[in-house]
């Protein structure tokens, strides 16, 4: 080897880190940020042996050097189906420090980490609780969290830790995940920085090899470099496994039959051989340790004692550098060693190990682990073990472990011999997998359970399959599945059939041809007897509305919405949120808003973080419709952040669409992806643009089209505006509320271009809808459209005056201000300057209060045209407009007297992050303490 290569090897740092300069720089920056109070996280992705574990060891060494608290865990394949198994290993030793968290978070965290009678609730609440606990620990000294083999973690732990990691904006916490390059849960996760560990270059590999095996013959070194394919662990282990004759080149390497294997498998082959060289008791003890995920050496030894091995049998494995014991922790040298110890064992040895671990789990009151170990130890059918898995599934359900519920029911089905019982358990597994977002698994399980005959199971499977079809962009296929199930179920369970029909109507709402889908659904259900059920009438009302008959559909939808509200406490919070708000189709925004506020309050109180973004989406839209633009903005940004943090991309696109419309009303060109400034220039949370939605995710296309149309209309680009609104109102999705709201805009744009023949039928459509719904604001806007279309002056003025009278108290200040603006423009053209000035001034004040800068500028231009004094933009709550969305949410809650801890509990932030936002907000508001907030107008 050259002197240059040897010098490079000397500078390479810990074994396996040669060539990882960039990765170490990134990790060093992450750790230094934590020392300085800037939290953050990163994901290391690479093949087995790429150096991920070595980089984690390097981080651990750096953490110990500065006295940071180190928390570490690793995923284990055999226990990936146990909810919060990884989190238990990570946080069990510090759970006593969680007592300072809000009570709901303490309960959730205890239920996840130390299972007892405490309910867990939402897995994302567990993530918020984890964030709070880490924040408490970081108040003393920096915290470094290292997670190895993250691709083998249970889904609940993954969701909780990713939620935590994405919210590390302040505080002294650094998180590093290491996962296989094919780990779907981590690769491409929005909001998470990724480091992909590729193969070492030949020079980097040579430097590493020079440091570990400087005596290799040049030809042998070259051969090892070729075999390792840039895999650091393969380089180290292949060199270490050589005999003396192979090192000096006198014995060919091909004699070991390693040339045809991938690099990671070559390393695995070496570990297999090293384990096979151990005694039988030591091999069996390693199998027991590999089948356990806790790493608790006392538990492993207790299980080992049950199979006839003793603590002394671990010594040879330690001497062979396969495992190490530190305190109560037993750690495998590398994940591939664990894989070799478990997968290389005979089936009888693995079942013996799992049976012993099940017996130990029984003694420590861990019934979930006991059931899984019993299942792993069972070959063939066993109803007793299957029944225990079913009981475990329901235990997992109470702890929020949807993925674990699916896995438990699936394994129980495999152990079930009786056919109908097996199908029922598979249907339960499919439903749980769908709820957990495991789309492919849910589809597979639903197909396996297809012959099930129980009406509830038929309905459940139909809902699961429909949800999967909808998720994959096939709402028409979903509708047909639900209609078919409706026919099958209704004769036995009319009420259940009515709910399936309603689901089918909801899918028809999104079908490529909604009108045809609605008619087909009605025709297929025509001969079925649903009894006297409001859900059936609600479905019929939705189908009538889709088919173009809102007069007939409105009363049934109103009745259904009332039924849902009256019976809301009979169903889960998730179902309440799913069924709420259908009366938005009737323009009933005030009452729906109040109900949504109650649901939001309940979500926050229950810690239902995963459900909250859907409620916030509804609230953001309602506040937009009600002219509360700044509130709509802060609500949409929070919903967008939580949707991103919980991986709900569909909701993220919808919330981004609301932000696009709000930006357009404020004069901003709508963008195609996640960043959005707030009303009057305020930026998204934490002083940056809106949350990253991930690649390929932008605003909902319907809302984006509306945003472009509104901006065009506000800026006088009438021809472009007309094209955009016509695309919304004339396409197959003309029934959507975003399209209905665009009808009056289309009328205005057409009349600006003197195209009354296009405006008249559009105005008639809106007037028909307004009459059917009976809402005051819609009636007022319909009158405004009539005013635009009326040719004689007396008639025009009468319609404008009637419209303004109808607007009084209608709860739509933006629409009222637009009516005033149009009336004022007409008065100016009629040379009635004084009257125009009065009406336009009222419009300007309304637009500035909302704010809606683009429209305020139009009103200001009209006022100049009638000779009004030049008016600068009103300084309404000027200091408040400088706050980010998150800062505004925090200061509003702080002004009510809530502590940082209570604010954090409501917003699912750590108390330290709340303090960070307050400290940034005070100088913007011109105050120095929270006591002064109460005197400010924060609305």
- pLDDT digits 0-9 by tens, 741-756: 999 999 999 999 999 9
343 and 223 in a single domain? The answer is no
Whether residue 9 is contained in a domain is answered as no
Using pLDDT thresholds of 50, 70 and 90, give the confidence band for residue 227.
confident
DSSP 934: G
The pLDDT tens digits of the residues spanning 107-146 come to 888 888 876 555 556 778 888 899 999 998 998 999 999 9
Last residue within a domain, chosen from 273, 306, 332: 273
Please tell me the predicted confidence (pLDDT) of residue 870.
Answer: 58
pLDDT(90) > 90:
yes
C-alpha distances in Å from residue 610, one per residue of 7, 160, 190, 329: 53, 11, 16, 34
- 117 and 141, same domain (yes or no): yes
Range with the poorest average pLDDT among 290-304, 379-393, 544-558, 860-874 = 860-874
Looking at residue 1, its pLDDT comes to 36
Please report where in the chains the tokens 């990884």 appear, as a residue: 86
Same structural domain, 908 and 860: no
Report, as an integer, the average pLDDT of 390-400: 79
> Exposed e or buried b for every residue in 12-27, given b needs 16+ CB within 10 A?
beebbbbbbeebbebb
Q: Judge if 34 and 183 occupy the same domain.
A: yes
8 Å CB contact between 189 and 166: no
Give the pLDDT confidence of 172-225 residue by residue, as tens digits: 999 999 998 877 667 656 678 899 998 888 888 888 888 888 888 888 888 888
Question: Domain for residue 924, yes or no?
Answer: yes
Whole-model pTM: value is 0.80
Q: Answer with the residue of higher pLDDT: 736 or 482.
A: 482
Average pLDDT estimate for 362-369: 70
State phi, psi for 688 to the nearest 5 degrees: -130, 180
Phi, psi of 194 (to 5 degrees): -120, 140
Question: Would you say 616 and 654 are in contact if contact means Cβ atoms under 8 Å apart?
Answer: no
Hey, how many other C-beta atoms are within 10 angstroms of the C-beta on 634? Answer: 27
What does the pLDDT read at residue 727?
93
**How much is the pLDDT for 187?**
62
Asked if the structure places residue 119 within a domain, the reply is yes
Give the Cα separation of 721 and 853 in Å (integer).
18
Distance CA 821, CA 837 (A): 10
Q: Is residue 844 located within the same domain as residue 720?
A: yes
Provide the domain limits for residue 681. Answer: 668-865
In this structure, are residues 84 and 109 in contact, taking their beta carbons and an 8 Å threshold?
Answer: no
Work out the pLDDT band at 400, boundaries 50, 70, 90: low
Mean pLDDT of 513-529: 91
- DSSP-derived 3-state class of residue 650: helix
Write the DSSP symbol of residue 684: B
**Given a cut of 70, is residue 484 above it in pLDDT?**
yes
Q: Which of 164, 196, 228 is the last residue of a domain?
A: 196
Domain limit, last residue, from 865, 893, 924: 865
CB atoms under 10 Å from CB of 731, counted, come to 12
What number is the average pLDDT over the span 450-477? 82
* Alpha carbon distance, N-terminus to C-terminus of the chain: 72
pLDDT over 70 percentage in the chain:
90
User: Domain tally for the chain?
Assistant: 5
pLDDT at 875: 47
CA distances from 200 to 10, 49, 401, 584 (A): 16, 11, 40, 58
Share the mean pLDDT of the chain.
Answer: 84
Of 56-65, 329-338, 794-803, 856-865, give the lowest mean pLDDT range: 329-338
The residue among 45 and 169 whose pLDDT is bigger is: 45
Domain membership of residue 618 (yes or no) is no
Q: How confident is the model at residue 8 (pLDDT cuts 50, 70, 90)?
A: very low
Is the same domain home to 715 and 833?
A: yes
Cis upstream peptide for 851 (omega within 30°): yes
234 and 345 both lie in a single domain: no
Q: How much is the pLDDT for 340?
A: 86
What crossing angle do the helices spanning 649-665 and 612-625 adopt, rounded to 10°?
20
Q: 396 to each of 114, 532, 572, how far by Cα in Å? A: 13, 37, 17
Q: Which residue, 726, 761, 760, is CA-closest to 746?
A: 726
When comparing pLDDT for 21 and 12, which is higher?
21
**Better pLDDT: 299 or 366:** 299
Tell me how far CA of residue 378 lies from CA of 363, 388, 448, 685, in angstroms.
20, 13, 21, 52
Note whether residue 137 is domain-resident: yes
Judgement on whether residues 206 and 329 belong to the same structural domain of the protein: no
Lowest mean pLDDT among 78-87, 434-443, 521-530: 434-443
What pLDDT is stored for residue 686 in this prediction?
A: 31
Helix 742-752 with 701-714: angle, nearest 10 deg = 40
For residues 915 and 637, what is the distance between their CA atoms, to the nearest angstrom? Answer: 19
Of the candidates 650, 577, 564, 634, the one whose C-alpha atom is nearest the C-alpha of residue 609 is: 577
pLDDT at 572: 81
């Amino acid at each position: 080897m050259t002197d240059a290569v040897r010098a490079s090897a000397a500078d390479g740092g810990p074994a396996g880190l040669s060539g990882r300069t960039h990765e170490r720089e990134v990790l060093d920056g992450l750790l230094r940020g934590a020392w300085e109070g800037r939290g953050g996280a990163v994901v290391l992705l690479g093949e087995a042996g790429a150096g991920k574990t070595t980089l984690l060891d390097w981080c651990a060494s750096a953490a110990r050097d500065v006295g940071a608290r180190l928390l570490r865990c690793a995923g284990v394949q055999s226990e990936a189906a146990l909810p919060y198994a990884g989190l238990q290993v990570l946080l069990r030793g510090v759970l006593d420090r969680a007592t300072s968290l809000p009570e709901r978070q303490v309960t959730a965290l205890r239920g996840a980490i130390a299972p007892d009678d405490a309910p867990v609730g939402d897995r994302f609440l567990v993530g918020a609780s984890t964030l709070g606990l880490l924040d408490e620990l970081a108040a003393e000294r920096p915290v470094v969290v290292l997670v190895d083999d993250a691709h083998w973690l249970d889904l609940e732990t993954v969701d909780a830790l990713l939620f935590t990691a994405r919210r590390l904006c302040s505080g002294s916490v650094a998180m590093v995940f290491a996962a296989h390059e094919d780990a779907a849960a981590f690769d491409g996760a929005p909001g998470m920085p990724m480091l992909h560990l590729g193969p070492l270059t030949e020079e980097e590999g040579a430097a590493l090899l020079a440091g570990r095996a400087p005596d290799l013959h040049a030809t042998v070194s070259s051969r090892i470099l070729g075999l390792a394919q840039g895999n650091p662990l393969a380089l180290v282990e292949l060199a270490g496994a050589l005999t003396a004759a192979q090192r000096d080149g006198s014995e060919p390497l091909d004699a070991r039959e390693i040339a045809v294997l991938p690099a990671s498998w070559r390393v695995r082959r070496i570990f297999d051989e090293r384990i096979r060289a151990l005694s039988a008791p030591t091999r069996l003890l390693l199998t027991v340790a590999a089948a356990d995920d806790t790493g608790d050496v006392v538990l492993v030894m207790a299980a080992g004692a049950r199979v006839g091995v003793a603590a002394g049998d671990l010594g040879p494995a330690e001497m062979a550098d396969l495992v190490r014991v530190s305190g109560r922790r037993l750690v495998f040298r590398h994940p591939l060693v664990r894989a070799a110890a478990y997968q290389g064992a005979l089936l009888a040895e693995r079942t013996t190990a799992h049976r012993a671990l099940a017996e130990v789990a029984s003694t420590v009151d861990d019934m979930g682990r006991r059931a899984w170990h019993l299942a792993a130890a069972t070959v063939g059918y066993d109803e007793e073990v299957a029944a225990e898995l079913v009981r475990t599934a329901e235990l997992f359900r109470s702890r929020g472990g949807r993925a674990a519920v699916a896995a438990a029911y699936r394994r129980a089905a495999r152990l079930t011999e009786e056919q109908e019982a097996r199908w029922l358990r598979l249907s339960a597994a499919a439903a749980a997998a769908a709820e957990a977002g495991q789309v492919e698994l849910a589809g597979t399980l639903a197909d396996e359970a297809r012959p099930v005959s129980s009406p509830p199971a038929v309905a459940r499977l139909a809902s699961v399959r429909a949800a999967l079809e909808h998720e994959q962009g096939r709402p028409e296929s979903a509708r047909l599945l639900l209609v078919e199930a409706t026919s099958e179920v209704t004769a036995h369970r009319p009420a259940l059939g009515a709910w399936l029909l309603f689901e089918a109507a909801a899918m028809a709402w999104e079908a490529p041809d909604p009108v045809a889908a609605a008619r087909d659904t009605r025709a297929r259900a025509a001969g079925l007897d649903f009894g006297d059920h409001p859900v059936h009438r609600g479905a019929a009302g939705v189908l009538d509305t889709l088919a173009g008959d809102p007069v007939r559909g409105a009363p049934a939808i109103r009745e259904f919405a009332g039924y849902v509200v009256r019976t809301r406490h009979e169903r889960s919070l998730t179902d309440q949120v799913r069924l709420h708000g259908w009366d938005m189709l009737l323009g009933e925004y005030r009452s729906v808003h109040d109900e949504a506020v109650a649901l939001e309050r309940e979500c926050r109180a229950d810690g239902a973080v995963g459900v909250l973004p859907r409620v916030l989406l509804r609230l953001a839209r309602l506040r937009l419709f009600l002219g509360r633009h700044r509130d709509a903005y802060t609500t949409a940004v929070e919903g967008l952040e939580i949707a991103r943090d919980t991986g709900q991309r569909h909701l993220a696109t919808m919330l981004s669409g609301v932000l696009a419309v709000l930006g357009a009303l404020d004069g901003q060109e709508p963008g195609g992806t996640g960043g959005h400034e707030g009303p009057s220039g305020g930026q998204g949370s934490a002083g940056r643009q809106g949350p990253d939605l991930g690649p390929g995710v932008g605003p909902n296309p319907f809302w984006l089209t509306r945003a472009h149309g509104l901006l065009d209309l506000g800026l006088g680009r009438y021809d472009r505006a007309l094209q955009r609104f016509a695309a919304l109102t004339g396409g197959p999705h003309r029934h959507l509320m975003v399209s209905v709201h665009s009808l009056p805009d289309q009328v205005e744009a057409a009349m600006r271009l003197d195209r009354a023949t296009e405006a008249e039928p559009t105005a008639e459509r809106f007037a028909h809808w307004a009459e059917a719904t009976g809402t005051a604001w819609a009636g007022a806007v319909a009158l405004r459209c009539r005013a635009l279309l009326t040719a004689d002056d007396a008639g025009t003025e009468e319609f404008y005056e009637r419209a303004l009278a109808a607007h009084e108290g209608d709860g739509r200040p933006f629409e009222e201000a637009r009516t005033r603006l149009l009336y004022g423009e007409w008065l100016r053209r009629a040379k009635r300057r004084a009257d125009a000035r009065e009406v336009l001034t009222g419009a300007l004040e309304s637009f500035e209060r909302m704010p809606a800068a683009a429209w305020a500028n139009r009103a200001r231009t009209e006022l100049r045209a009638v000779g009004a004094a030049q008016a600068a933009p009103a300084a309404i709550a000027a200091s408040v407009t400088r706050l980010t969305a998150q800062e505004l949410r925090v200061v509003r809650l702080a002004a009510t007297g809530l502590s940082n801890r209570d604010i954090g509990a409501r917003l699912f932030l750590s108390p330290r992050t709340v303090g960070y936002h307050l400290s940034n907000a005070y100088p913007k508001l011109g105050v120095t303490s929270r006591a002064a907030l109460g005197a400010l107008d924060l609305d």
